[in-house]
């Protein structure tokens, strides 16, 4: 038999039982869409985080105090004297509340000098305005999620506009006014902080308003990739366990490994739905074999061989896999683009009602799902393989029917 004849017979069988065929194909669509949607999310998150880490550069180390250790200006001078250190950026951070659109929202205040800001962000992307000058004046560069509403449709904070921050001091509070000099573009996922939900101010001013003489953390830049480990060893020798040292290269490897595991896990969970779809295909095709017993007997009576019957029923499973796989790819691609928006909208709403710091951070966490050709190929091949494999037993049962008994079947 010709291939086109076999495929036509398989398609004709599905067309005759439209509702049953549609539901069977739908089960495959759901499985493929789940794989595409979930794996695309993890790939997008991984790419967004790694992009930020790469912008920081492979020569970057992050130093945070451990236990009762504090980082002061004396530590900055000491670290700067270490061989292989090219630059140091001390940073002060704290949480405050921002008066925005008749509500108070939790934001991160990051104190860093104008030169160190580029090191901290990796790349300065301004929508409007400019970076503040090195001084102890109340100037600020605001993140994208602060300047715009939660729907990202209307701008609420502009360059030159004063913004009011509220600082909690025990049972009392005080208000601080900052002048906005610049508005940042959207950064999305970040390595060390939520850029979109942060306000950056001169470090001298930050230390004054927080009454601080110590730094929250220090970013160290080595003069070459080869000297990163040398600088790290010097720091360990000087401070021992008094500080925590994070290497951007180590963070990159850890992030890739962790998200890779999550990608495999989520993809495996989604593949279970395809397995369930396979059981449905097997069940439906077994029912189809019994319903078409006389038809099978007639085909054998006019000269169809066992392998012809086997191929006809396998073609039906193949068509289910192909149609379900293609529709699943389309559905998965559409769903993967909607998920980030739903997540952002949900947590933005949660943050605005509860003022939770964690919710604010997740609300500003944005990424673009990535659907690679490898993922498309694997998902489609899996759908077809599961469908054909599930149709093997029913097709074998059909091919082994005896023509006389099949013709007498009622």
Q: Give tens-digit pLDDT for 282-315.
A: 888 888 777 777 777 887 788 778 888 888 888 8
pLDDT tens for each residue of 146-164: 888 766 568 888 898 898 8
Distance CA 229, CA 61 (A): 10
Query: Quick check: 118 and 195 in contact, CB under 8 A?
Result: no
Specify the higher pLDDT residue, 366 or 316: 316
Distance CA 203, CA 200 (A): 9
What is the pLDDT, as a whole number, of residue 1? 58
Distance CA 165, CA 113 (A): 20
Average pLDDT, the chain: 80
Q: Which of 13-27, 43-57, 326-340 has the highest mean pLDDT?
A: 326-340
Q: Which of 123-127, 197-201, 282-286 has the highest mean pLDDT?
A: 197-201
Q: What's the mean pLDDT in 239-266?
A: 78
Query: Quick check: 191 and 53 in contact, CB under 8 A?
Result: yes
Give the confidence band of 55 by pLDDT, cuts at 50, 70, 90: low
Residues 197-214 as b/e (b if ≥16 CB within 10 A, e otherwise) read bbbbbbbebbbebbeeee
Specify the higher pLDDT residue, 51 or 381: 381
Query: What are the domain boundaries of the chain?
Result: 3-53+256-408, 60-223
Q: What's the mean pLDDT in 17-28?
A: 82
pLDDT tens for each residue of 334-383: 888 887 777 666 555 544 444 443 444 444 456 788 888 888 898 889 88
Distance CA 49, CA 252 (A): 8
Closest CA to 398 of 292, 301, 243: 292
Q: What's the mean pLDDT in 320-326?
A: 89
Q: How many Å separate Cα 370 from the centre of its chain?
A: 9
What is the pLDDT, as a whole number, of residue 77? 92
pTM over 0.75: no
């Amino acid at each position: 038999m010709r291939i086109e004849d076999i495929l036509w017979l398989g398609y004709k069988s599905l067309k005759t039982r439209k509702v049953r065929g549609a539901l069977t194909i739908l089960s495959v669509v759901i499985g493929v869409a789940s794989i595409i949607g979930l794996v695309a999310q993890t790939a997008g998150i991984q790419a967004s985080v790694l992009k930020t880490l790469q912008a920081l550069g492979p020569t970057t180390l992050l130093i945070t105090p451990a236990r009762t250790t504090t980082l002061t200006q004396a530590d900055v001078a000491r670290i700067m004297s270490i061989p292989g250190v090219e630059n140091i950026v001390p940073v002060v951070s704290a949480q405050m509340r921002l008066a925005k659109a008749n509500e108070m929202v939790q934001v991160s205040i990051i104190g860093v000098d104008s030169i160190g800001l580029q090191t901290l962000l990796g790349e300065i992307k301004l929508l409007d305005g400019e970076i503040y000058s090195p001084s102890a004046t109340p100037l600020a560069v605001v993140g994208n999620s602060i300047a715009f509403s939660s729907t990202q449709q209307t701008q609420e904070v502009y360059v030159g506009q004063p913004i009011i921050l509220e600082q909690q001091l025990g049972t009392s509070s005080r208000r601080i006014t900052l002048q906005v000099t610049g508005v940042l573009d959207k950064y999305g996922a970040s390595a060390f902080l939520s850029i979109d939900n942060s306000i950056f101010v001169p470090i001298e001013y930050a230390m004054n308003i927080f009454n601080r003489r110590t730094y929250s953390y220090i970013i160290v830049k080595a003069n070459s990739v080869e000297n990163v480990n040398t600088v790290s060893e010097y720091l360990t020798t000087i401070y021992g366990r008094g500080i925590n040292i994070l290497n951007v290269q180590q963070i990159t490897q850890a992030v890739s490994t962790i998200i890779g595991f999550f990608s495999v896990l989520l993809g495996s969970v989604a593949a279970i739905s395809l397995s369930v779809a396979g059981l449905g295909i097997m069940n439906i095709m077994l029912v189809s074999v019994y319903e078409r017993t006389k038809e099978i007997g007639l085909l054998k009576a006019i000269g169809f061989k066992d392998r012809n019957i086997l191929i006809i029923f396998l073609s039906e499973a193949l068509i289910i896999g192909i149609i379900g796989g293609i529709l699943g790819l389309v559905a998965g691609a559409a769903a993967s683009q909607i998920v980030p928006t739903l997540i952002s909208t949900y947590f933005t709403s949660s943050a605005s009602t509860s003022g939770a710091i964690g919710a604010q951070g997740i609300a500003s966490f944005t990424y673009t799902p990535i659907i690679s050709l490898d993922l498309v190929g694997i998902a489609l091949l899996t759908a077809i393989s599961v469908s054909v494999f599930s149709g093997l037993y029913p097709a074998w049962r059909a091919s082994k029917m005896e023509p006389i008994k099949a013709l007498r079947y009622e």
